[in-house]
Amino acid sequence: MKTISENTCFDGVQGVYSHASAACQCDMTFGLFLPREARDGPVPLLWYLSGLTCTHENAMTKAGAQAWAADQGIALVFPDTSPRGPGVADDEAYDLGQGAGFYVNATQDPWSPHFRMWDYVSRDLPDLLTENFAIDPDRQSITGHSMGGHGALTLAMNLPGRFRSVSAFSPICNPTGADWGRKQLSAYLGDDETAWEKHDASLMMCKAGFDGPILIDTGSDDQFIDLLRPETLAAAIAERRQPATFRLQPGYDHSYFFVSSFMEDHIAFHAQALWA
């Protein structure tokens, strides 16, 4: 692991690091905020998964999360959204390839050698964090925006017991039923749609649900709302009678102005579960 930068931030440390990823078979970069409490021992961890076209840097610099995490004594990790580099497959479209990993393990060429973001987020990076930083492996929660919201919800529901709480900002809720999803799932996983199901939050909600608190915010003026399909997840939550808070925020769009407006709510929501 290499330290790219470390800066004092709200009396904690905002670092950026790179490492050779066994899952993705390339170097990966991530951001990690450690609150001052980490000087004295392990602290809870909140994962933030970013959306299409983002790197580790977008949420780290735009979401305003560190101030609220510092107040709550919680660490924040900002993984990249895909493998990158000259030897990594890519596509001219913004929504496939580098910057668009969709948090799946690709099985199809040319993506399968490197695009294993499911294993990276669920195994590779967690092991690295607990080995090298003051992180409590038993107190973790997860959130994300857009494609990252999709990843947060599907990881939480597929890995029971891993996360104490899950939230999402304008998540892609039903990728098997929308253009933001069918294109990527078929490219990465092939044409067998049964392989797609674990990566669809609405389908997973009906099948498994989540044994913990859920918070979801979507803007009523989100320019991508027809692709996000929040109504499918809301219907699945109602059908399963899953305890959840699902909010449509009036006037907000898909941008980081929306994310930062409700970040305090989400950090406080996770802190309640992480410090319980």
List, by residue number, the catalytic residues.
Answer: 146, 222, 254
Q: What is the DSSP string of the chain?
A: -EEEEEEEETTEEEEEEEEEETTTTEEEEEEEEE-GGGGTS-EEEEEEE--TT--THHHHHHS-HHHHHHHHT-EEEEE-SS--STTS---SSTTSBTTB-TT-B--STTTTTT-BHHHIIIIIHHHHHHHHS-EEEEEEEEEEBTHHHHHHHHHHHHSTTT-S-EEEES----GGGSHHHHHHHHHHH-S-GGGTGGG-HHHHHHHT--SS-EEEEEETT-TTHHHH-HHHHHHHHHHHT---EEEEETT--SSHHHHHHHHHHHHHHHHHHHT-
